[in-house]
Amino acid sequence: MKLPNYYEDPNTLHVGTCENRSYYIPYGQDLNSHATLLSGDWRFGYYPYPEAVPADFINPDFDDSSMDTIPVPSCWQCHGYDYHQYTNVNYPIPFDPPYVPKENASGAYRTTFTLSAEAAKQRNFLYFEGVDSCFYVWVNGKFVGYSQVSHSSSEFEISSFVNEGTNTLAVLVLKWCDGTYLEDQDKLRMSGIFRDVLLLTRPKSFVRDYTVRTFLKDGGAGVVRVSVEADGEISPVLTLCDADKNPVGEAVLADGVYEFTVLNAKLWTAETPYLYTLTISTADEVITQAVGIREVYIKDGVVYVNGQNLKFRGTNRHDSDPVTGYTISKEQAIRDLTLMKQFNFNAIRTSHYPNAPWFTELCDRYGFYVIAESDIEMHGYLSTYHSDRENTLGLLDEGGVFTEAVLDRVQRNVIRDKNHPSVLIWSLGNEAGFGYAYQNAGRWTKEYDPTRLTHYESSTWDHSNRFDKSMLDLYSRMYATTEEVDSYFAEEGPKKPFIQCEFVHAMGNGPGDIEDYYQQIMKYDGFCGGFVWEWCDHAVNQGIAENGKTMYGYGGDFGEYPHDGNFCMDGLVYPDRTPHTGVYEWKNVVRPVRARLVDAHKVTLALKNMLDFTDMADAITLSYECKADGELLCSGEIAVPSTAPHTESEVTIPVTLPKTAADCYLKLTYLTKTAHELVPAGHEVGFDQFLLSGSAVRRLNTVTDEATAPTVTEGDRFLTVSGEEFTYQYDTFTGIFSSLERGGETISMDYSIFRAPTDNDRNIREEWERANYHHSQTRTYTTEYAIDGQTVQITSTVNLCAVTVQSIMKFTVIWTIDGAGTITCKIDAKRNTDMPYLPRFGVELTLPKSWQQVSYLGYGPQECYIDKHHLAWFDAFESTVEDMHEDYIKPQENGNHYHCRKASVGNGTNGVTAYAATSFDFSVSNYSDYELAVKKHNYELEESDFVTMHLDYKNSGVGSNSCGPQLLPQYQMNDKEFEWEYQLKF
């Protein structure tokens, strides 16, 4: 069919649409809804380009019986049409704004709705909550209008198009339009009517829009101001009720604004989401609106909500589901919000577009602070030839092509969601540079709504000094390093509050830098918090593999070009919302109570209430447990003293410490005291653990058997060390045991510096590969042995090296073997500091496959690393090799246990136990490191016919360098010189 070409015309953004308004559903005085949901199965035809669509599909008499059906709302890629594509920065189409490819996939939708005689005489509207990317609408064969801006509402008045009885609605959706250039968010690219469609039947005159604003007065009163805009003649009556449905105050009308004064107002916060209900009533309609009384403002560079300096503990959230794509039901959204509450989040950034119009309603109700973001991202400009970050995007809107579009998108976001207490911050968009269009849109926002804060990260890329940015309240950054944060606050002079709208990039195994950032957030009043990138992994469920695993597809799995691989899987939860270990790390870092050991002898602790509005005693119950090397000494509950937000109080725990060298740890566990709608009472919100006593170094007794020393036989290469029950082959070329045989089972050993790169290793990996770490080997310079009484001692000097490159490390290793076959290993090493830091340094043991039982004394039970261990605690744990594996969709290093004193792997009869003089990192897996490194999907992983056990002097931290800063030096295996001692008993 031939269409008016609005979709390549940035001057025609909408045709026939109603003026923007806040989102609400009107009811009749009989309390019947005036909205009918048109969602359901619609007729659907998929065409390669609009010209191929039959022109008469819009007509009521068109025979649509041979068309397919598709559910509305949905994305057509999720129903077998077109193909999936994942791209991050790169535009999926040639860069030729405002033009888009001629082959522009087109979806023709048809449905019908019926109107009673009475309804047909009233005023009727169609309300589309979200259509990607643009759409044309016809009712009964007549053209109604056109709209774009995928994640915003478009409303059309269809009063003059409808009749009593059956009416035909036809919608043509195009995959690309000029708006595509403004919707280059990092996501799977999907199309269609992906949110609900409503039919509204309203009286001749009605409330068109209203704006609610709240203020606080000294003395605890809250002020609720409501302005009402009418279509036609109305005399609205406004009432405000509390949560128990009792009216509070009377509306006073002055200068066209209704004002309620609520004495002793109960204030809305994320912790206390108290809502009043506003009712706007006209002759024929009732509109209700939840009202939260609260105030947000900045004073001296600090963000305050209701007079309290608070921190955003936030996450970025996309609408994303492995089956339904962009289409998210309330149940799916509530599932996310439930997890967020349970994992101690208090804030959400709707990256990078408005969510469904009811989403902020849920945030009002459950208590989340929201950065509401406009549907804009033009990141792809950076991938064009001759581009640079500072200028390319800024220049773009100087040309004026998208100036109107930017303003339109910002207005649609602000006006739709303006009545929600949860929204504290308006975001102008994401990664689209800064220029006149943004200056303009920013000014409009601040003038339209001075009661909220404004934010736009791209403003901080532009250093031209050509634009006014005074309307932006926050200094917004993403992935700023801890150093950059420090220097921002070290600079003299007044400054805007600092916010990390994205940080701790949660891709794969990580993030490892949450605690470091949180320390800064706590340190600087002006650092108002951050938002983790991001909430969920984006992927497409492609069915179940033979081994029973879900086959999640990511970039490149759909044969598409271009694509950005697995960069879409960078969330805190898997696509099905199973939590990643990283979200446990977050949860405990931002726990609502932080304890400090004041006196280890008296076991006195200071408990700090990290909540912003709730007394600690009202929110938390506390239990404790004291263990010596994992053996319970005592446990109990302690009454939580009344403690105001942000203050401390002391408690003393009744513990009598034994005189032992064992590690005595005290663990405090914090539980919710009362139930919240999404969190039951007794839910664990975090814990603290303290070492009360113990000795850092444990002497490893090299003689565990008083019997005679083993014998040694010299071969041309190997030393055979034998005892009554064992035969060990020591390789004098490599400086380690090539085989350890006992009871018919054989183990082998090797030095190990390689790990299956994590997503966060993606940059350093290149250095590691250049240094040939993945081909490392050892050779000895010298080997000597001696038999001294009860033991054999072998000493080698060793060079750890790889072909082509220089030495990585040199060390002396002393092995002591006693009559029982116990091996004690002592290493004294010097690393070549010209080489990059190591993934790890330690030994790898290849164990019989039947050894599947694991126990360890160290940090667990979840995987943990030197920089990601706040989710774990020190204890004695038992597990299985299978359970020690964390099944990342894109396989990688996983399952490490930080700071272990002891670890055993066996089958109940045979096994090995490792002891550390100080500690080691420990992991064990049914998959080889090589397998984890090369396989692209978890469902392709094949188990090896042995078990791989790692004991490391140090396994490097995981950080968040997939997008965040480099791994901090203190978490790298970068030691210049070190000693390490451990023992293996069989």
Task: Enumerate binding residues for Mg ion (CB under 5 A).
Answer: 186, 379, 431
Question: Which of the listed partners (Mg ion, ligand GAL, none) does 570 bind, with a CB threshold of 5 to 8 Å by partner kind?
Answer: ligand GAL
Least distance in angstroms from the C-beta of 116 to ligand GAL = 47
Task: Kindly identify the residues of this chain, within the stretch 454-483, that bind ligand GAL according to CB under 6 A.
Answer: 478
Q: Is 431 a catalytic residue?
A: yes
Nearer to Mg ion, 69 or 383 (CB): 383
Could you say whether residue 503 binds ligand GAL (CB under 6 A)? no
Nearer to Mg ion, 570 or 875 (CB): 570
Tally of CB atoms within 10 A around 483 = 10
Least distance in angstroms from the C-beta of 179 to ligand GAL = 18
Nearer to ligand GAL, 132 or 186 (CB): 186
Could you say whether residue 88 binds ligand GAL (CB under 6 A)? yes
Site residue total, ligand GAL (CB under 6 A): 11
Could you say whether residue 353 binds ligand GAL (CB under 6 A)? no
Least distance in angstroms from the C-beta of 349 to ligand GAL = 10
Could you say whether residue 430 binds ligand GAL (CB under 6 A)? yes
Q: Give the separation between CA 42 and CA 72, rounded to whole angstroms.
A: 6
Question: Which of the listed partners (ligand GAL, Mg ion, none) does 870 bind, with a CB threshold of 5 to 8 Å by partner kind?
Answer: none
Nearer to ligand GAL, 186 or 761 (CB): 186
Binding-site string for ligand GAL from residue 544 to residue 583, where x marks contact by CB under 6 A and - marks none? -----------------------x--x-------------
Least distance in angstroms from the C-beta of 229 to Mg ion = 36
Assess whether the previous peptide bond of 562 is cis (omega < 30° from 0). yes
Question: Which of the listed partners (ligand GAL, Mg ion, none) does 157 bind, with a CB threshold of 5 to 8 Å by partner kind?
Answer: none
Rounded to the nearest 10 degrees, how much is the dihedral formed by the CA atoms of 450, 453, 456, 459?
A: 70
Could you say whether residue 533 binds ligand GAL (CB under 6 A)? yes
Q: Give the separation between CA 459 and CA 717, rounded to whole angstroms.
A: 66
Least distance in angstroms from the C-beta of 110 to ligand GAL = 35
CA distance readout (Å), 959 to 298, 762, 864 = 32, 11, 12
Burial class (CB in 10 A: 0-12, 13-18, 19+), 727: middle
Nearer to Mg ion, 279 or 763 (CB): 763
Nearer to ligand GAL, 628 or 963 (CB): 963
Least distance in angstroms from the C-beta of 569 to ligand GAL = 10
Least distance in angstroms from the C-beta of 462 to ligand GAL = 16
Element housing 51 (H / E): none
Residue nearest to ligand GAL (CB): 186
CA distance readout (Å), 732 to 813, 817, 834 = 12, 15, 27
Describe the crossing of helices 330-342 and 359-366 by its angle, rounded to 10 degrees: 40
Report yes or no: 126 and 198 within 8 Å, Cβ to Cβ: yes
Distance of CA 924 to the CA centre of its chain: 27
Catalytic residue among 155, 259, 457, 502: 502
Least distance in angstroms from the C-beta of 502 to ligand GAL = 6
Question: Which of the listed partners (ligand GAL, Mg ion, none) does 202 bind, with a CB threshold of 5 to 8 Å by partner kind?
Answer: none
User: For residue 494, what are its two tokens?
Assistant: 């007044």
Nearer to ligand GAL, 434 or 533 (CB): 533
User: For residue 438, what are its two tokens?
Assistant: 């943004």
Question: Which of the listed partners (Mg ion, ligand GAL, none) does 425 bind, with a CB threshold of 5 to 8 Å by partner kind?
Answer: none
| 3-state per-residue secondary structure call for 276-338 | EEEEEECCCEEEEEEECCCCEEEECCEEEECCEECCEEEEECCCCECCCECCCCHHHHHHHHH
For residue 606, the one-letter residue type is A
Binding-site string for ligand GAL from residue 841 to residue 870, where x marks contact by CB under 6 A and - marks none? ------------------------------
Instruction: Single out the residue of 431, 663, 759, 863 in contact with ligand GAL (rule: CB under 6 A).
Output: 431
Strands (E) in 57-164, as ranges, are: 68-72, 86-87, 106-115, 123-128, 131-132, 134-139, 142-148, 154-157
Instruction: Single out the residue of 132, 155, 186, 462 in contact with ligand GAL (rule: CB under 6 A).
Output: 186
Question: Which of the listed partners (ligand GAL, Mg ion, none) does 831 bind, with a CB threshold of 5 to 8 Å by partner kind?
Answer: none
In DSSP terms, 838 is beta-bridged to 973
Nearer to ligand GAL, 474 or 903 (CB): 474
Least distance in angstroms from the C-beta of 592 to Mg ion = 33
Nearer to ligand GAL, 88 or 822 (CB): 88
Instruction: Select from 366, 314, 364 the least CA-distant residue to 344.
Output: 314
Nearer to ligand GAL, 534 or 863 (CB): 534
Q: Characterize 289-309 residue by residue with b for buried, 16 or more Cβ atoms within 10 angstroms of its Cβ, and e for exposed.
A: bbbbbbbbeeeebebbbbeeb
Question: Which of the listed partners (ligand GAL, Mg ion, none) does 963 bind, with a CB threshold of 5 to 8 Å by partner kind?
Answer: ligand GAL
Task: Kindly identify the residues of this chain, within the stretch 46-85, that bind ligand GAL according to CB under 6 A.
Answer: none
Any idea how long the chain is?
Answer: 986
Q: Give the separation between CA 480 and CA 457, rounded to whole angstroms.
A: 11
Question: Which of the listed partners (Mg ion, ligand GAL, none) does 502 bind, with a CB threshold of 5 to 8 Å by partner kind?
Answer: ligand GAL
Question: Which of the listed partners (Mg ion, ligand GAL, none) does 456 bind, with a CB threshold of 5 to 8 Å by partner kind?
Answer: none
Instruction: Single out the residue of 963, 967, 973, 984 in contact with ligand GAL (rule: CB under 6 A).
Output: 963
Least distance in angstroms from the C-beta of 62 to ligand GAL = 41
Could you say whether residue 276 binds ligand GAL (CB under 6 A)? no
Nearer to Mg ion, 479 or 737 (CB): 479
DSSP annotation of 965 reads: P
Task: Kindly identify the residues of this chain, within the stretch 881-920, that bind ligand GAL according to CB under 6 A.
Answer: none
DSSP string spanning 607-672?
EEE--SSS-HHHHEEEEEEEEETTEEEEEEEEPPPP--TT-EEEEE------S-SS-EEEEEEEEE
User: For residue 586, what are its two tokens?
Assistant: 């977050």
Nearer to Mg ion, 68 or 564 (CB): 564
Could you say whether residue 536 binds ligand GAL (CB under 6 A)? no
Question: Which of the listed partners (Mg ion, ligand GAL, none) does 473 bind, with a CB threshold of 5 to 8 Å by partner kind?
Answer: none
Q: H-type helices in 43-152, by residue range? A: 117-121
Report yes or no: 79 and 194 within 8 Å, Cβ to Cβ: no
Question: Which of the listed partners (Mg ion, ligand GAL, none) does 893 bind, with a CB threshold of 5 to 8 Å by partner kind?
Answer: none
Catalytic residue among 129, 295, 431, 534: 431
Least distance in angstroms from the C-beta of 563 to ligand GAL = 14
Least distance in angstroms from the C-beta of 408 to ligand GAL = 21
In DSSP terms, 768 is beta-bridged to none
Distance of CA 458 to the CA centre of its chain: 21
Rg (Cα) of the chain, in Å, rounded? 32
Instruction: Single out the residue of 373, 417, 502, 513 in contact with ligand GAL (rule: CB under 6 A).
Output: 502
Q: Give the separation between CA 745 and CA 16, rounded to whole angstroms.
A: 79
In DSSP terms, 950 is beta-bridged to 844, 923
Least distance in angstroms from the C-beta of 911 to Mg ion = 50
Q: Give the separation between CA 911 and CA 847, rounded to whole angstroms.
A: 9
Q: Is 863 a catalytic residue?
A: no
Question: Which of the listed partners (Mg ion, ligand GAL, none) does 34 bind, with a CB threshold of 5 to 8 Å by partner kind?
Answer: none
Question: Own/partner pairs for 147-150, CB < 8 Å, 24+ apart?
Answer: 147/13, 147/14, 147/15, 147/17, 148/7, 148/13, 148/14, 148/177, 148/178, 148/179, 149/13, 149/179, 149/375, 149/408, 149/409, 149/412, 150/179, 150/183, 150/194, 150/353, 150/375
Instruction: Select from 157, 158, 166 the least CA-distant residue to 110.
Output: 166
Catalytic residue IDs: 431, 502
Binding site for ligand GAL (CB under 6 A): 88, 186, 352, 430-431, 478, 502, 533, 567, 570, 963
